Every structure is written in structure tokens, then in C-alpha cells.
């Protein structure tokens, strides 16, 4: 079945540091890929997405590129801010199966001033 493997957390960085959170997936066919962010006490919000190979999703300075050859969708940001502290979830939606999202385990990011 479909699965998403995410970099283990928690991750602690200083403000303005470079961020990478690794995500790899297993799926039938060519899934759509997503990064969701969860701020404390809130539900998940879509951060960015990519729907086909080599697509790059970007939002709020975050980027991720759909790499079919390595089945990866790593999240990056060049300079993190304290306000980026949150839990980040990688997810996929597989075209060949049911409609639901499959989530990774989440990575807690804390950015220190």
C-alpha cells in the first residue's frame, strides 16, 4: 500500500538557518504530493503541493520538488524564522486508489531566536 516516510524529529534550528526535512514515498502510479503544516493548537494547513514529476511547489519561502526517480519530496527553506516553528507533514494522494491522503509521521520544527 501507499506509505510516506519522513525525517525523524524534532529539529531545532537558529533563526536564518537553512532547513531541510526529508520525505520519501511509496505509491502505486504517480501520486500527488503535499506538505502540510500544523501550528500549535490548530488543524493542518496546506503549505505546498506538486502534482507531477519535476513539479516544484513553493509557498512562504518553502520549496519542494517532486522527484520521481528518487521517490522523494524534500521540504526546504533558505532562512527559517521563529514563526516557522510548527509540525510539518508530508502526504500523498494516490490516483490509482481511494481518495484519501496518506500522511507521514510529522516533523516537529523549533526555531530559536
Partner 1 sequence: DAGVIQSPRHEVTEMGQEVTLRCKPISGHDYLFWYRQTMMRGLELLIYFNNNVPIDDSGMPEDRFSAKMPNASFSTLKIQPSEPRDSAVYFCASSFGTVNTEAFFGQGTRLTVV
Per CB under 8 A, residues contacting partner 1 are 31-32, 34, 36, 41-46, 49, 51, 89, 93-95, 98-101, 103-106
Q: With respect to partner 1, which residue has the nearer C-beta, 83 or 100? A: 100
Task: Give me the least distance between CB of 13 and partner 1, in Å please.
Answer: 22
The reply to whether omega before 90 is within 30° of 0 (cis) is no
Residue with cell 513539479: 55
Q: With respect to partner 1, which residue has the nearer C-beta, 36 or 62? A: 36
- The four Cα atoms 74, 58, 38, 17 give a dihedral, to 10 degrees, of 70
The SS3 of residue 84 is helix
**To which H or E segment does residue 107 belong?**
strand 107-112
Q: With respect to partner 1, which residue has the nearer C-beta, 13 or 30? A: 30
Task: Give me the least distance between CB of 2 and partner 1, in Å please.
Answer: 11
The radius of gyration computed from the CA coordinates of the chain, to the nearest angstrom, equals 14
Q: Which three cell numbers stand for residue 6?
A: 519522513
Task: Give me the least distance between CB of 21 and partner 1, in Å please.
Answer: 15
The number of angstroms, rounded, from the C-alpha of 13 to the middle of its chain's C-alpha atoms is 17
Task: Give me the least distance between CB of 44 and partner 1, in Å please.
Answer: 4
Q: With respect to partner 1, which residue has the nearer C-beta, 18 or 47? A: 47
Amino acid at each position: 500500500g501507499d506509505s510516506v516516510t519522513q525525517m525523524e524529529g524534532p529539529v531545532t534550528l537558529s533563526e536564518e538557518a537553512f532547513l531541510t526535512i526529508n520525505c520519501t514515498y511509496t505509491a502505486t502510479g504517480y501520486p500527488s504530493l503535499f506538505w502540510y503544516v500544523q501550528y500549535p493548537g490548530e488543524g493542518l494547513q496546506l503549505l505546498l503541493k506538486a502534482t507531477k514529476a519535476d513539479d516544484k511547489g513553493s509557498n512562504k519561502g518553502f520549496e519542494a520538488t517532486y522527484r520521481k526517480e528518487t521517490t522523494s519530496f524534500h521540504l526546504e527553506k533558505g532562512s527559517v524564522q521563529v514563526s516557522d516553528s510548527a509540525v510539518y507533514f508530508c502526504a500523498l494522494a494516490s490516483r490509482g486508489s481511494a481518495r484519501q491522503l496518506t500522511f507521514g509521521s510529522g516533523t516537529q520544527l523549533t526555531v530559536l531566536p
